[in-house]
Amino acid sequence: MGGNGRFWAVWGGMAAGAVVVGGAAYRPLPPVTAHYRPDIHTEYVKFPSGRDTITAYLAYPERKDPAPVVVVIHEIFGMSDFIRQTTEQLAKDGFVAIAPDLLSRRGGTPPSPDDARKLIAGLDPDTVTKDLDATVAYVKRIKAARGDRVGVIGFCWGGGQSFRYATNNPSLGAFVVCYGPGPDALSIARIRAKGLGVYAENDARINAGLADVDAAIRTYHKSYRYTVYPGVGHGFLRAREKPEVADSAWKAVVGFFRESLEH
């Protein structure tokens, strides 16, 4: 890992209508459209999950061969500018990236982050898994994507969901947890994918669970390495209070996905 982060390794087998929260703009999901850029293509897509329909933000890289896939799981604020920008950045880094709006069953992410938080707090975990399964099934049908090379990344609430999804989908090739809580030890025993954790020094609430995660990873011989980055707090990849630290963490994320999914 680059940068100044402390490293623990465990190896085994502002637009109109936007609402500002913590320096970041959040706004409701716009209508389904396509957008073209010199280096990537983005669009909103819809696909079924049971009897419901999920809306997702999809970004394609500009490359001649099919690309590995990264599923992006949003924060407790729901679909946001940060999540769309992260999805776009992953495409620029060479991946087909897709971010499902996990509030699609509730009408989509609302304009108010507080309203989104309340809705997400009421989501059924098994339904979240079902909607992530539907997202993976959809993206595997895309010809420009490598359906056999799928990873997942999540932030805050989504970080915990990324960890949880890795316990429920044995076909994943990689998962990244950005300052999210870990699952219980018996669930960790089911993980087959390689994992990477991104944590913040000033985040005692989340970091309090790292010792238990570390113990379970060692007990069940799983592959999960993580870094606690100094001088930053929860959500630092979005807040960017120290841009150089955020950039170092993102470089590590991209390197991990390339290492795990490209080869």
The string of pLDDT tens digits covering residues 72-91 is 999 999 999 999 999 999 99
d(CA 53, CA 106): 10
Six-digit token string for 181? 């809580």
Residue 150, beta-bridge partner list: 69
Determine the Cα–Cα distance for residues 77 and 115; give it in Å rounded to an integer. Answer: 8
pLDDT value for 15: 33
Query: At 61, which helix (H) or strand (E)?
Result: strand 52-61
Residues in the chain: 263
CB atoms within 10 A of CB 56: 25
**pLDDT digit string, tens, across residues 4-28:** 333 333 333 333 333 333 333 333 3
List residues bridging with 97 in a β-sheet. 59, 70
Give 169-218 pLDDT, tens digit per residue: 999 999 999 999 999 999 999 999 999 999 999 999 999 999 999 999 99
Beta carbons of 95 and 82 less than 8 angstroms apart: no
| C-alpha–C-alpha distance, residues 82 and 89, integer Å | 10
Closest CA to 72 of 189, 168, 152: 152
SS3 breakdown of the chain: % helix, strand, coil, rounded to 5?
Answer: 35, 30, 35
- Give the torsion through C-alpha atoms of 111, 115, 117, 123, to 10 deg: -110
DSSP structure class, residue 30:
P
